[in-house]
Amino acid sequence: MVFITPGVGFLGQHLVLPAFIHYAGLSLTLFVIRPTIKLPEWAIVTASILLIPVRGFGGIAYRHWKNKREAEKRGARLPPAIQTGTFGNSALLDRMGKAWKEGYPGDEVWDFTREYGRVFNFGIMFADTVFTLEPDNVKRLLATDFDNFVKGERFQYALSAVLGSGVFNSDGEMWKFHRTMARPFFSRDRVSDLERFDKHIQKAISLFQQRMKTGYAIDFQDLAQRITMDTASEFLLGASVDSLNILADDMPQPYNHPHHHSSAEAFKKYPANVFCDAFLEAQLVAAQRDRHEWIWPLWEIFEDKAKPYMKVVDAFMLPIVEEAVAKNSEKLRLNGGDAKNEIGDDETLLDHLSSQTSDRKILKDQALNILIAGRDTVSATVTFLFYLLSKHPNVQQRLRDEVLDTIGPSKRPTFEDVKGMKYLRAVINETLRILPPVPWDVRECVKGTVWPSPDPNEKPIYIPPGTTCVYGLLMMGTDEELWGPDAAEFDPDRFLDDRKKHILANPFIFLPFNAGPRICLGQQLAYNQLSLIIIRILQAFSSFTVDGEAVPPNARVPENWANGPGRKAMEGFRPKVVLTMSCEGGMWLKADPVEREETI
């Protein structure tokens, strides 16, 4: 079987095929109109090639003229476009790429916002990519104009290698299918059963305690990812990855440990580690593709960068999918071919999906989509939360007091216990506001529409069809125009005192779980899982500190960040954005274990 890389396929589609069509068209035209004229072959070939940029730039110019005319017809204007004076704003692509690697997320975008306003067009490589910080526009994207804003082909193409046609990368009937199938598995009865998660958390706490006895920090981000991977895989697939079945000494070692280099080899001997690493690397490739806009295949001329990682992921996932399909076939055989619509107590999401389709790709895609949501977002939130607690001892102590007063030093909380812990919920929400695990999201405009102008003295803004619309949850969460002068401060009380009225009156300034028809089905599951992890860890440890010496030097916060604006000046770690946000180099924490007498 011949394998074509994304880059070769892209060149074939945009260069070779058009050139061939032009050549055939020119040859036929000359033969019909002037059969006596014999042009040299090289002239026809050259003309065929030159027609490619002529048609391309002609199409771009026509599209801009058409959009501008439509905007004027509607009494509107096009979004202000960033101007760099380079071909296709290519300098902007380089500038943004450097910012992604070295800067604080949103740095460059804040600069553009100050220059161009709160709605503007990146215009990279002649594609319309509009960014907005306006809650009213986000409301249109997610709710009031939902049908007009889809994930879109550009986004789906970039992320298809990882997300496939799963719920987070599909539109229309396929999205409705995934959504309908998943909904029953996030009912209150299922998401409030905390016992099923507790065994994994207890394993993690044991590993945490063992590391603390050595005097070295633990990569809390790695620990949190193990918890959420094991809980999500068991809850959704019926088979835990068992990433917590690891010796404490084989977990990642801090930079200041004498054997931190050799720990990488020990790390690879666990199949769960290999799977999780491949899973993360595949997401990194997908994120890089998305950032390179529609021309991303040009970075993959000689190889499909996602392929080796997805091969590892598929080797883990496909046997689980096959088992679910076989299980459903046996179930049908025993029932005489009659499918039962009832969902059993021990049935997983994958079990239920396999009763609706036997398409292995659809099943695998949906499973991976839910795994990403179940693992990455929850692990990122709990990691950021304990980081923030380490920086705010007063909040840390107040939250621990609530845990001990409500639950006690060792009891497993119930759903009703968690429901009554107001400060815990406020701390979680404040973490999600300042450091949302999904910092950006996108939609694509189907039909041209008009948005109100952020500046009342300006005309409204026309959004042409095919425009990619990006909204920044990370930036909105610390935007002083939306949250006031203390927007960058970590203050959970804003979700409890009179400031809460402002949030309730403006729901689209705080969207950690999306909104509208695509609102996260697992919202309550995430809150419950987060609450249980936080409670159990606070029962086992009394205080937390970040160990800066444990962080690899290339992942440490640059000194010049101290002079930056907002959160940048405060941050004690380097946020890294893939599909979700995480900590570059890990989050290395030390903690004080609770004495045995306190837990009795």
What residues are designated binding site? 520
Query: Could you tell me which residues are beta bridge partners of residue 273?
Result: none
Whether 386 and 274 have beta carbons less than 8 Å apart is answered as no
Q: Return the structure tokens found at 301.
A: 């001329």
Tokens 């936080």 appear where? 534
Compute the distance between CA of residue 375 and CA of residue 237 in angstroms, rounded to an integer.
13
Cβ proximity of 588 and 545 under 8 Å: no
Residue 131: strand pairing partners: 120, 470
Which DSSP string do the residues of 470-524 spell out, in sequence order? Answer: EEEHHHHHT-HHHH-TTTTS--GGGGTSTTHHHHHH-GGG--TT--GGG--TTHH
d(CA 285, CA 296): 10
**Angle of helix 195-214 versus helix 220-237 axis, rounded to 10:** 160
Q: Of 598, 216, 538, which is closest to residue 397 (Cα–Cα)?
A: 538
- Token readout for 570 is 């405060």
Written as six digits, the tokens of 156 are: 């789906």
| Residue 97: Cβ within 10 Å count | 13
Whether the Cβ atoms of residue 467 and residue 129 lie closer than 8 Å to each other: yes
What kind and span of H or E run contains 119?
A: strand 119-121
Q: How many CB atoms lie within 10 A of CB 325?
A: 20
Give residue 532's identity as a one-letter amino acid code.
L
Q: Give residue for tokens 């639950």.
A: 407
**Cα–Cα distance, 348 to 292 (Å, whole number):** 37
**Burial (Cβ within 10 Å: 0-12, 13-18, ≥19) of residue 526:** buried
Residue 342, classified by CB atoms within 10 Å of its CB into exposed (0-12), middle (13-18) or buried (19+), is: exposed
Length reported for the chain:
600
Question: Binding site for heme: residue ranges?
Answer: 520
Angle at 37 between CA 33 and CA 38, to 5 degrees: 125
376, 316, 374: which is closest to 348 by C-alpha? 374
Count how many Cα atoms sit within 13 Å of the Cα of residue 480 in the half-sphere of its side chain.
7
C-alpha to C-alpha distance for 490 and 109, rounded to whole angstroms: 22
Amino acid identity at 303: E
How many Cβ atoms sit within 10 Å of the Cβ of residue 10? 18
Identify the burial level of 498 via C-beta atoms within 10 angstroms of its C-beta, where 0-12 means exposed, 13-18 middle and 19 or more buried. exposed
Q: Can you tell me the distance from the alpha carbon of 157 to that of 327, in angstroms, rounded to the nearest whole number?
A: 32
Query: Residue 211: in which H helix or E strand, if any?
Result: helix 195-214
**Cα dihedral sign, 315-321-324-329:** negative
